[in-house]
Structure 1
C-alpha cells in the first residue's frame, strides 16, 4: 500500500558537451537571443523582430563591445524594444544556451545575448519614432537617469560626426561613381559574364563592389576555422605563401571589428584557392570542406581533379581575384586611420608588388597544416 503513495521519481538525463561556440565563432551565423518582457508579453506568434548592432563608444574611440538593440512589433502596432544586457556586465559573464540531442546524448552550448524589452511610448501620433526627434530628446533629458542622459549625448554627438563624414565621403566619391557608371553603360553584355556586377547606385567607394557578388557568405562560413587560426597566428612563413595572400590577410587585420576581420580572412583564403587553380597548382582537396570544393567546381567548371580551368574560366577567375583585391585595398574607417596610419601606408605601398607576382606563382601552402606555423 505504501508504494501507491510514493511520489514518482523524475528522470535525470546526462549529456556530453560536444562544443561551446561563442559570438566570435558565430560572427556570420545567427546566434540565439533570450528576451524578457517588463510587462505582460504579447502574442508571440504575431511578433516580427529587428536586430541592430553598433560599436559601444567608450570616450572618443569605439571599443570591442557592441550595443545590440532588439525591436519587436506585433500586429496591433505596439512596439517593444530593449538593449542587450551583456554590455553592462563584466567580461567574465557569459550567457549560454544548450541544444541537446536526445538520440546522441550530446549537447552544443551557444553564447546568447540577453534582452530586456519594454513597450515604447508613442510620442508623435503613431509616426515613426526617430532617435533625434525633439520630443524623445526632451523625454530622455527630463526623465532619464544621469547615465542615460550622458549616453544619449554621446550617441547624438557620434551620430552627427558620422553624418558629416558620410556627406564628405559621398562628395569625394561622386566623380569616381559617375565615371564608373558611364563605363558600365558603355560596356558590352559579354563582359558581364566575367566581371562581378557593379553597384551603379553606390553612394561611397566601398559600395561599388560587393563581396557577396563574387562569393556568398555561406561559402565563406566553411572557412571560419582556418581563418580564425590564421588571425591568431602572429606570423607566417613567407616562403610558403603567396605575397597576394599575405597582403589580403594584412588587409583583413586592418578591420576594426571582429566580424570584419573574420570575414575578410575567409575571403583571403578564397583568393588563395583561386590563385592556385589559375596557376594549375593542386588544391588541398583532402583538407578542404566539401561545400567549398563543390562551389569552386560549379562556379569555375574545374576538370581533372579540380586542377585545370577551361580557357574562358581563367578570365573570370582572374577578374574575381582583381575585384576582390580592390575590395581589400579600400580605405578603412576614418576612426582607424589615425591609430593605424603607419600599418595602412605600409600595406598599400606593397599591394601593387604583391598582385604582380602572386597569381602565376606556384608555392604550396595548406591551411590545415598539422605542424605549427613559424612565428615571425
Structure 2
C-alpha cells in the first residue's frame, strides 16, 4: 500500500533564513558533493533596503561562482510570488516546507570587477569571459586557436612598437618628407587590420586562413539555429532564391554544392549563412535595425563593430580581395532572359598572388 505524506510548513525560520535554490548560468551541476557553498549576509540590518541582501558563493576545483539576490545579476523571479521548497523525511513520511529564494550563479574570473563598478565595455568583458571558459572547458582545437590568437596579438604589439621606434628615428634623420611616407604606409596598413592573419607558408589551402580567426568559437555556436535553413535546403528552395534574387550568386553556388556528410555540411551551412549576411550588408547604404531581425545578437554586434565603420570608394570588394592575396578572375554569368553579365571573383590559390601597392610618392608640381 502506498505511504501517504504529510506537509508541514516550518514557520519557525525567519525571513533571513530562506533556503537558497541555485541555478548555474553556464551549465548543470553534476555532483553537489564536489561544491562548497557559503552564504554571506549584509551586516547593515537597520537599512530596510540592505538587510535582506545576500551573496551566495560556490567553489569548485576549476571555477568559482557567485550569485546575489540584488543588483543586475539577481534572479528575475516575480517578487510578488512566494517560493517554497519541500524536504521529505522518508522515515516519518512528513515533508517540511521552507521559504526559499533563487540565486543565479555566474562564474567569477580572476581580475574581474563588479559589473556595476567596471568601466570596461560589455563586448570586451564578454570576450574575456569566453576566452576563460575556453581555457577551462574548451576542446583541444579551441585551446590551440586561443593560444595562436594570443601569440599573434603579442607579435602584433611587438611589431607595432618596433615600427613606432623606427619611424621616430627616421623622422629625426630625414625630416618631414619621411613623415609623409610613413603616413602613407600607415594608411595602407589600416585597411588590412580588419583582415584575419594570413599564413602564406601554408601547404594546404584550408590552412592559409584559420576559420577560428574569422568566426570565433562563440559566434560559430550561435550560428547553429539561423543556419538551419541552409543546412536543410532543397533544390526547389534554391530555385526560388534565384527567382526572387534574395541571395548573392556566390552563396547560391555554395548551397548547390553542399556536401552530404552531416558534420561538414553543418560547418559549410554556417559559413554560407555568415557570408550571406556580410554580402547583403555590403549592399546597404544605410543599415536599418530591421536588417538584423533574424540575426543573433552576438553576430549582429560583430558585424556592426567590424564592418560598418569604414567607407570605400568604387571597387570596395576588389581592394579587399587584393589585400587578402586572392587571384581576381572574370566570369560571365547567365541571368534570367538569357542575358550574360560579367562578374569578378576572388579565388584563393597557391602560391599566393602578390600585388604592387598602389600610390607612390607624390610628384611636386613644377612652377614655370
TM-score range, shorter chain: 0.3 to 0.5
TM-score between the two structures when normalised by the length of structure 1: 0.32
More helix by share: 1
Could you say which structure has the larger radius of gyration? 2
TM-score w.r.t. length of structure 2: 0.33
* Greater RCO, CA 8 A, separation 6+: 1
